[in-house]
Every structure is written in C-alpha cells, then in structure tokens.
Amino acid sequence: MSAQAPSARPNPSSEAPALDAAVRASAHAPSVHGTRPWTVRHVGDRITVGTDPDRRLAVRDPDAREQVVSCGAALFTVLVTLRAHGVRPAVRELPDPDRPGLLAEVRSAGAAEPDARDRMLHESVGPRRTHRGPFPADVDDVRTVRALVSAAAAEGAVLRPLGDERLMRSLAGLVAAAEFLHRCERDTGEELARWVRAPGAADPDGVHAEDFPPPDRVADTLFPDRDYGRGRVRGLLDPHGDVAGTAALLTTSGDGRGDHLAAGRALQRVLLTAAAGGVSSAFHTQPLEEPHLRAFIGERLCDGAHPQMILRLGRGLDARPHRLFASVEDGG
C-alpha cells in the first residue's frame, strides 16, 4: 500500500482509543538507564510529551540531552502507533517557549489508512529490546544498512555506519576510556545504582539483572558495556556469539533541544526498522557524556556533526520478552 487515502476530519470520540494505545505504547521506547524520563499524557483531544525532571540523570546528563533523546524515542512511538491505528498525527514540537519541559503536542489531523511500513514498525514496538554483549552474526547485507540509514534520514538525522575497522577500534577505545573512568567515580556509581534492579524485580523501570551480563563478561569485549552491577547486583544475561557487529553513530547537524528530540525520533525509527528485519542494537553512549570526548568524536568521526548516539548493530533478535506488557495492545 503506498498512497494514503484522503484524510477524514478528526473525530475525537472515535479516535480516543488510538490515542490511549499510543500513550501505552510509548512506555516501550528505549531510554537512558531505563529511566523513562518522560510524561506522555492523553489530555482532551491531544497527547502531550514532556520531560519528567525527577528522572533526569543529574550526574551523567546535566544538560538533559540524553533525557530529550529518550523522550524523542517515546514521541516516535506515539506517532507510529497513531498511524498504525489509522490516525494521521499533527505534531507541534516545542510549542511553548515558556514551558521548555513541554516537548511536543500531538493531535489528530484526521483518519488515514495505515501503510504497510507503519504497521510493520508498530509491530516491532513490543519485541524490540536493547542488546548487550557480542552478537551471533554481523549485518552483512547492504540493503539492510541502507534501510537503517534511510530511517534516520526520514526523521532528520544521519546514521553513519563505521565501515573501516580502524575507525571502529578508535571509537571502541573512546568508549573504553569513558567507561573505565566512570567506574572510578562514586557519584556516577550512586546514580547508576538508583536505576539498577535486582533479579526478579517487578518494577518496569531501570536496567534489570536479567538485561546485563555478569562482571567477567562486561570488561573484556571490544566495546565495554556499562558496568551496571558495580559489585552490588550480578548481571544474569548470558550473551552468546562472538562478533562486535557494525558500529554506527547517529548525528544531527544542530545541537539544540529540537535536534535532541529529532535524534530520539530517528533512534526509535532506526531501532524498529532494525528489529523488523531481525537486527538487534546495542548502545555505548559513555563517551558522549564527556563533553571533550563528544566534541572529539564529532570532529574526527562525524565530519563536524553532533553525535547523539553510539550503536552496534548485529543479527539475531533478542528473544527476552519485554517485562512491561505481553503485547502493546493489551496495555498495562
């Protein structure tokens, strides 16, 4: 299906269930440390997406860049869910200069037949999970990589796969530099501890023991994982495979709040496109939390653009069920 049917006028009462579904689906978006640092609300005829100041990482994300990227991922999830439910969204980003915490307002612009791509992306919202550790296999086909690059471009960002092994090793070294420094910092450790959950915890927030590898598996990989446990909680994830995958940087041309929001939308579009094609994504944003390293990466690896995310992409979908809901449609 390519062309959309002409829009019918908005009809708030018949569209309310779609708006509710979009709010519920947003809870599945990726977020730094699983903080879900947003407020996503259905108010009257619209959905508002804002920041939750109590969930910002004051130590590692003082400027709220990663928070807004996370909110952008939630915003894209709202938009794709509405489209998949036959509602064409009209978005106003940063609608009120006096309320910087209000990131977006989404209303219906009428009904529209969902296209196959929106349905496909929406179906990946629930199954998508963050990968950690090595992958079973590389993403070795050009078409998939091209589709991911186009997904980022559709949201106004650039996905830059690092094809050259030497550049990839250079980036991995910068990840390691930041990660090992962070492991020495008490305030970073305390902030992380607030978001790490013991085995079997029911809390939907945070990074759970089941989602990160044990200490002996986090240190010796090419791209060191964040040490979520820090000696307090033993990770239970047993990564299998032995390839690092394709490293990629997600960048924007500007570096304001609107750019961070766009980066988040692009991130979630890339991740859902990947998941729909059997590709998993791992993240290593530690050096982007260090201003000098972030500037260096922008200058030397991104042609002067602003790096917003560091990813690794590999084949083999993570089969861990999402702990939030059995399915996006079922709700909480």
Taking the C-alpha atoms of residue 188 and residue 192, their distance in angstroms, rounded to an integer, is 6
Task: State which of residues 32, 152, 233, 317 lies at the interface with ligand FMN (CB under 6 A).
Answer: 32
Is the distance from CB of 310 to CB of 301 less than 8 angstroms? no
Task: State which of residues 207, 244, 301, 313 lies at the interface with ligand FMN (CB under 6 A).
Answer: 207
Question: Which of the stretches 16-24, 50-58, 163-171, 277-285 binds ligand FMN when contact is defined by CB under 6 A?
Answer: 277-285
Task: State which of residues 4, 7, 130, 170 lies at the interface with ligand FMN (CB under 6 A).
Answer: 130
Q: In what order do the strands lie in the sheet containing 87-93?
A: 38-43, 46-51, 102-111, 87-93
In sequence order, the 6+-apart residues with CB closer than 8 A to the CB of 184 are none
- Tell whether residue 132 is a contact of ligand FMN (CB under 6 A): yes
Cα dihedral across residues 105, 110, 115, 120: positive or negative = positive
Question: Which of the stretches 15-23, 65-73, 141-149, 163-171 binds ligand FMN when contact is defined by CB under 6 A?
Answer: 65-73
Name which of residues 145 to 204 contact ligand FMN (CB under 6 A): none
- Tell whether residue 294 is a contact of ligand FMN (CB under 6 A): no
CB of 282 to ligand FMN, least distance (A): 6
Name which of residues 69 to 88 contact ligand FMN (CB under 6 A): 69-70, 73
Burial of 113 (0-12, 13-18, 19+ CB in 10 A): middle
Is the distance from CB of 32 to CB of 67 less than 8 angstroms? yes
Is the distance from CB of 83 to CB of 50 less than 8 angstroms? no
Binding mask 208-237 for ligand FMN (x = CB under 6 A): -----------------xx-----------
Locate 317 and state its tokens.
Answer: 């979908």
Is the distance from CB of 59 to CB of 78 less than 8 angstroms? no
Taking the C-alpha atoms of residue 218 and residue 227, their distance in angstroms, rounded to an integer, is 7
Taking the C-alpha atoms of residue 70 and residue 265, their distance in angstroms, rounded to an integer, is 9
- Tell whether residue 31 is a contact of ligand FMN (CB under 6 A): yes
- Tell whether residue 285 is a contact of ligand FMN (CB under 6 A): yes
Given the complex with ligand FMN, which of 87 and 263 has the nearer CB atom?
263
CB of 159 to ligand FMN, least distance (A): 15
- Tell whether residue 38 is a contact of ligand FMN (CB under 6 A): no
Given the complex with ligand FMN, which of 70 and 251 has the nearer CB atom?
70
- Tell whether residue 7 is a contact of ligand FMN (CB under 6 A): no
Kindly list the residues in this chain that would bind ligand FMN in the complex (CB under 6 A): 30-34, 66, 69-70, 73, 129-130, 132, 207, 225-226, 283-286
